[in-house]
């Protein structure tokens, strides 16, 4: 059970901009992953996260685990699934967490709110109440009631590569070599190739 006043939870909410069920889920996932992999918040790139969605949860994961797009140790696979896999390069351990929260199963409120909203009613206040309740329930639940957790054997994805950059012969801006396009025998960037 999590304490709602945990300072890193407060900081994660501030980073994300609001508390919501997704942020709560990402927070619980990140905390469990760090514990299971014996990792402190990584300064470098020893921890790698593979996320299978781009929801609010990923903000908590970036903030709590230090796996970020910018460092190259956050990998996005667009599967639309609340599945999160983490690897610790330092000790070779890996863990996969798949969300299976059933706390609000059978709760018809969300569907009803959606129906009323579709009919033109302003349900924003009730929707917010519902989302806060759900976020709180996720923060308080036992881990086993939020996600399934299993060790992973496969190797972590490759460390971020150092890449060469080229200059676009159309707009003159630089871009990553692997993103180049060829048009009329000239190497150009993607935006120019789409013009």
Binding site for Zn ion (CB under 5 A): 20, 22-23, 56, 168, 170-171, 189, 192
- The alpha carbon torsion through 143, 57, 80, 112 (nearest 10 deg) reads 80
Q: In DSSP terms, which residues pair with 96 in a beta bridge?
A: 85, 150
Tell me the closest approach of the beta carbon of residue 191 to Zn ion, in angstroms. 6
**Cα–chain-centroid distance for residue 137?**
20
- CA–CA separation, 157 and 141 (whole Å): 31
Residue nearer to Zn ion on the CB measure, 79 or 186: 186
Residue nearer to Zn ion on the CB measure, 15 or 69: 15
Residue nearer to Zn ion on the CB measure, 61 or 168: 168
Contact between 43 and 70 (Cβ < 8 Å): no
CA neighbor of 40 nearest in space, from 88, 108, 106: 88
Residue nearer to Zn ion on the CB measure, 39 or 141: 141
Tell me the closest approach of the beta carbon of residue 93 to Zn ion, in angstroms. 29
**Neighbouring residues of 21: CB distance < 8 A, sequence distance ≥ 6:** 56, 131, 134, 135, 138
Residue nearer to Zn ion on the CB measure, 137 or 152: 137
Tell me the closest approach of the beta carbon of residue 67 to Zn ion, in angstroms. 18
- CA–CA separation, 171 and 108 (whole Å): 54
């Amino acid at each position: 059970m999590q304490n709602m006043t945990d300072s890193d939870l407060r900081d994660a909410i501030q980073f994300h901009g609001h508390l919501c069920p997704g942020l709560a889920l990402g927070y619980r996932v990140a905390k469990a992953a760090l514990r299971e992999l014996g990792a402190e918040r990584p300064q470098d790139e020893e921890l790698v996260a593979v996320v299978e969605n781009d929801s609010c949860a990923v903000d908590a994961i970036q903030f709590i685990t230090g796996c970020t797009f910018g460092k190259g140790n956050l990998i996005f696979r667009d599967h639309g699934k609340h599945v999160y896999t983490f690897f610790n390069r330092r000790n070779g351990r890996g863990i996969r967490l798949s969300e299976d929260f059933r706390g609000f199963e059978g709760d018809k409120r969300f569907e009803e709110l959606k129906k009323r909203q579709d009919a033109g009613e302003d349900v924003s206040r009730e929707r917010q109440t519902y989302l806060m309740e759900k976020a709180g329930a996720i923060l308080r639940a036992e881990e086993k009631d939020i996600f399934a957790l299993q060790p992973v054997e496969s190797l972590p994805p490759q460390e971020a590569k150092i890449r060469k950059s080229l200059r676009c012969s159309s707009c003159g801006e630089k871009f990553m070599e692997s993103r180049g396009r060829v048009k009329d025998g000239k190497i150009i960037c993607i935006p120019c190739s789409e013009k």
